[in-house]
A and B are shown apart, each in its own frame.
Chain A
Amino acid sequence: MVNIRYAKDNFELEQNQSVLDCLTNRGVPVPFSCRSGVCQTCLMRATGGAPPELSQQGLKDSLKLQNYFLACVCHPTTDLEVALPDDADIQAVIPATVKSLQLLNADIMLVVLECHAPIDYRAGQFINLFQNQALGRSYSLASVPHEDDHLHLHVRHLPQGRVSGWIHEELRPGETVEIRGPGGDCFYTPGNTEQGLILIGTGSGLAPLYGIIRDALSQGHTGPIHLFHGSRDLNGLYLTGELHDLVKQYSNFNYVPCLSGEDVPHGFAAGRAHDVAFQQISNLKNWRMFLCGHPDMVRIAKRKAFLAGASMKNIYADAFNVSQSS
């Protein structure tokens, strides 16, 4: 008999019953629509056990790798522990020591954290960093597992930002903070190594992109990789030296710093990062896209990328929404 574990409850799966029916019959509010494994409304995640391959058909690679599945077409033959995508707190809180804090530009702090327990993540995912139990914020990971010893975050000091203000003004190396994660599906998936990658980021949206680029390169990606990093003026850009070094080291990597303000010196592209990207590469068919940073940029760029030929399955995005309570 196969058991489905959800929250603290154990349900026996009946013969020919889907995980969706099993859960909804017992009153678990799993949203659903087509019940045919297509519309993805009943997306869930296996937190224990592996979902059958058939229940992952049509999902994005980065979701498959994290054991997401469609409950309506999930007929497991072994026990599964499952969660809804919005179920927070499915991961334990991990303490981490602040190893160093270093300003990357006037507003953005590199925070290096050493976890007290191993954390299995992919470059480009995010963690939640807590100032106290009730107050946490999501920050993307710029570090690459196996390349970097610790977790790297790029924290932008937001006006009136409570957590970012605390990180910039009060936090000191040696202190211990609590984190939870990782989460998010904006990361490099192995395979298709010749595919072209276009990465567009604004501000500290460079953090996940910097991780993704180095992850792709270290995994032997051979296709062209174009990074468009945008800011209003020169002061907003950062890691330019490291990125120019990567360009020298890897012939398939191209870095285009973009400035949307008035003053655009030689060596920089004029315009907003996504506008520059779409001007330089107009047909996006078969490209893999990564879009990170300002929510408006991500929304506009996603639509433009899709209309310019990119397939929805090839568009990975992480919009940096600012918390309403700052």
Chain B
Amino acid sequence: MSQQESLYEQLGGEAAVNAAVDIFYRKVLSDDRISAFFEDVDMEKQAAKQKAFLTMAFGGPHNYSGLDMRRGHAHLVARGLNDSHVDAVIEDLGATLRELGVKEELIAQVAAIAESTRNDVLDR
């Protein structure tokens, strides 16, 4: 494996995101700790957002800024979104990748990227 290969490339790029998105979204919807936040959303729009989130967490091309993250989650923070919910999402993300046979070392890198958005998502 070349030293230059990015995390996104190592994971398999867009094809990997496509393989992961349904599995990840199913886990989130079935996770009692966080499913309530997804009760009244348009599932199709939500699936597209999940895909954008995964692309970012996989180290892929994205243009999200910290401000976008704050704006995008402000209504959820108002409903009580806190650290425990972010923990749950990162856990579900790891479980998704494990199910797809991704190596732990790469999963840790993905989790670290997701982790880096925590303060913006929780608006603090």
Residues in A lying within 8 Å of B, measured CB to CB: 33-36, 38-41, 58, 60, 302-303, 306-307, 311-312, 315
Contact = CB atoms under 8 A, between A and B. Distances in A.
A40 B48 contact: yes
A40 B63 CA distance: 14
Interface in B15-31: 22, 25-26, 29-30
Contacts of A60: 44
Nearest to A308: B26
A38 B51 contact: yes
Contacts of A303: 29, 43
A307 B43 CA distance: 12
Contact of B55 (A36, A41, A307): A36
B44 A312 contact: yes
A34 B63 contact: yes
A60 B48 CA distance: 11
A60 B22 CA distance: 15
A312 B46 CA distance: 10
Interface string B44-61: 110111011001000001
A36 B61 contact: yes
Contacts of B44: 60, 312, 315
A36 B51 contact: no
B68 A33 contact: yes
Interface in B63-78: 63-64, 68, 72
Contacts of A307: 26, 29-30
B62 interface: yes
The size bracket of the interface on B is 20 to 34
Contacts of A41: 45, 48
Nearest to A305: B43
A39 B52 contact: yes
A38 B72 CA distance: 15
A34 B69 CA distance: 10
Contacts of B55: 34, 36, 38
Given A34-B64, A38-B52, A312 B22 contact: yes
A58 B51 contact: yes
A315 B45 CA distance: 13
A35 B63 contact: yes
Contacts of B68: 33
Nearest to A63: B44
Nearest to B63: A35
Given A33-B52, A33-B68, A306-B43, 14 more contacts: A33-B64, A34-B55, A35-B63, A36-B62, A36-B63, A38-B51, A38-B62, A39-B51, A40-B48, A41-B48, A302-B43, A306-B26, A311-B22, A312-B44
B43 A40 contact: no
A35 B61 CA distance: 10
Contacts of A38: 48, 51-52, 55, 62
Nearest to B61: A36
B7 to A, nearest CB: 16
Given A302-B43, A303-B29, A312-B43, A34 B22 contact: no
Contact of B25 (A33, A58, A302, A306): A306
Contacts of A35: 63
Listed from nearest, the 6 A-B pairs whose CB atoms lie closest are: A39-B52, A40-B48, A35-B63, A34-B52, A38-B52, A312-B47
B76 to A, nearest CB: 15
Contacts of A34: 52, 55, 62-64
A311 B23 CA distance: 10
A311 B24 CA distance: 12
Nearest to B17: A38
Nearest to B72: A33
A51 B63 CA distance: 22
